[in-house]
Amino acid sequence: MAELKLTGMAGAYQTMIEEPEHKQPSLHIAIAQLLEAEKLAREHKRSETFLKLSKVRYQVKVEEIICSTERNLSEEMLALLCEGTYIRKGQNVLITGATGTGKSFLASALVDQACLKGYKATCHPMLKFVETIQTSKQAGSYMKLIDQIKKHQLLVLDDWGLQPMEHAVKVALLQILEDRYGRGAVIITSQLPVKSWHDYLNEPTIADAIMDRLTAKSHKIELKGPSLRTRTD
């Protein structure tokens, strides 16, 4: 089993044979248990790989997220998103709130949960995302970048709205959103309320198109309350 790299099965079998003989399962039950152990081990390894490749901002589990009326985040909403159905249906998650309210923390937990469900995710701080688009255009690798993003079922854009966006970047963003519409999900975190995003984009025609693709199928979460950073300092 070890030579075949069936590590989950090998570990389960070792545990099994260390039990007293009268407690060891019958052959057909043993085979089922070994196969289940191997399946779980592979799923765990896959999710760890997906999480590492996602370059998620924080290593956080969904159990660490605080749900309360004060934060304007319900357990029902969190549970709904943890199911991952929004990714399969191509629905976006727009997380807004003042600095320190845990927007990126929540997004990171959702990425972790998505990877556990077997979805590929890619996370980008907006400042670096803009630079990446600009650099790829200069290097002639823009379409390669677009294709790479398209392969991920979940795209996270963190800290939306911190700096002005050039026209070329807006066009690229529109293309990315068009490629993902109904086929992949986007999580955006921003200090700006969603109602201000159109003005932030500052080009009515392209802003209309971008906002339509972001908000037509979306879950909006406006986090409130005092800064969580203050609580931990």
For the stretch 35-45, pLDDT in tens is 888 888 888 88
Rounded CA-CA distance 195/198 in Å is: 7
pTM: 0.82
Crossing angle of helices 126-139/142-150, nearest 10°? 130
Question: Span 161-188, mean pLDDT?
Answer: 92
Statement: residue 233 has pLDDT above 60: no
157 against 216, higher pLDDT = 157
Question: Span 110-115, mean pLDDT?
Answer: 96
Cα dihedral sign, 188-193-198-202: negative
Statement: residue 231 has pLDDT above 60: no
Which among 218, 203, 209, 139 is positioned nearest to 176, based on CA atoms?
A: 209
Question: Span 153-160, mean pLDDT?
Answer: 96
CATH of 57-232, one of 3.30.200.20, 3.40.50.300, 3.20.20.70, 3.20.20.80: 3.40.50.300
Pure H helices in 140-227: 142-150, 167-180, 197-201, 204-215
What value, to the nearest 5°, has the Cα angle with vertex 191 and ends 190 and 197?
A: 65
Statement: residue 232 has pLDDT above 50: no
Where are the domains positioned within the chain? 7-53, 57-232
pLDDT in tens, 75-110: 999 999 999 999 999 999 999 999 999 999 999 999
- Which pLDDT value is given to residue 17? 83
Distance, first Cα to last Cα, the chain: 49
